[in-house]
Amino acid sequence: MDYLQTADFWIGLVKIIWINIILSGDNAVVIAMAARALPPHQQRKAVLLGSGAAVVLRIVLTVVAAKLLALPYLQIVGGLLLLWIGVQLLGEEEEDEGEEKRYGSMLAAVRTILLADLIMSLDNVIAVAAAAQGSMVLLVLGLAISIPLVIFGSTLMIKLMERFPIIVMLGAALIGWVAGETIVSDVSLHDSLEDNPWLHYAAAAVGAVFVVLTGRWLRTRSSHAAAA
């Protein structure tokens, strides 16, 4: 326990917490969007389960992230999955068909949170690992302390989405933006991106527009089908 008395330990801990706060903004949006369609008493449970499991996932990812990022086409596949998640979250309608149906929706929400966090955190955890400097205690402690912050951010985002529906669309656009960035950041596209740095922003913008337009189209089609 002597390491608790060293300045390096506390500096590293602050770094991990701060990095996680900065990098968790988009994750909080995903958690909020996945949980918003659930009944109020299930929203908190989905946020807690999703946030806690996501942090555990980040700890595991920290060990293997560098190797995974070196695999060609992995981020392209991940980005495409993230596009699909964004479209589904924007296009889905709230369900009111009984407790069993809603419970299934909660499981789907947690699954969506974990899948999105897996994709969005691959490159982020490298920064966290660097701050931890090989200390698993520091890594686990820093991420654990960050859990309440992620939960608070997600809960606040849900309330804002209920009050200002435009935030839902902005959140979906953010997911699409990150998806575009993820795709173009794949190691197989490194040379192309280096020669054409504008592709980074172009891909992100295309991803954001794609998610918003496709999600709205799906929502409109679903509404028309329900009215028929």
Instruction: Using CB atoms within 10 Å of the CB of residue 30, give its burial: 0 to 12 exposed, 13 to 18 middle, 19+ buried.
Output: buried
Higher pLDDT, 9 or 206: 206
Specify the pLDDT at position 95. Answer: 43
Q: Is the confidence at residue 84, as pLDDT, over 90?
A: yes
**Cα 102 from chain centroid (whole Å):** 22
Contacts of 167 (CB under 8 A, 6+ apart): 157, 160, 161
The tens digit of pLDDT for each residue in 26-49 reads 778 888 888 887 888 888 888 888
Confidence of residue 101 (pLDDT cuts 50, 70, 90): very low
Amino acid at 17: I
pLDDT at 224 over 50: yes
List, in sequence order, the alpha helices (H) in the chain.
7-23, 25-35, 40-69, 74-91, 99-121, 124-132, 136-163, 166-184, 190-195, 198-227
The one-letter amino acid at 2: D
Res. 22: pLDDT tops 70: no
Mean predicted lDDT score pLDDT of the chain: 80
On whether the pTM is more than 0.75, the answer is yes
pLDDT at 211 over 90: yes
Q: What are the φ and ψ backbone dihedral angles of 94, each rounded to 5 degrees? A: -70, 145
Alpha-carbon gap, residue 138 to 209, rounded angstroms = 39
Task: Tell me which residue has tokens 């789907």.
Answer: 108
What interhelical angle do 124-132 and 40-69 show, nearest 10? 80
Please tell me the distance from the alpha carbon of residue 212 to that of residue 220, in angstroms, as a whole number.
Answer: 12
The domain limits of the chain are 2-227
Q: Quote the pLDDT of residue 183.
A: 93
- Reported confidence tier of residue 99, pLDDT bands at 50, 70, 90: very low
Least confident of 9-13, 23-27, 151-155, 206-210: 23-27
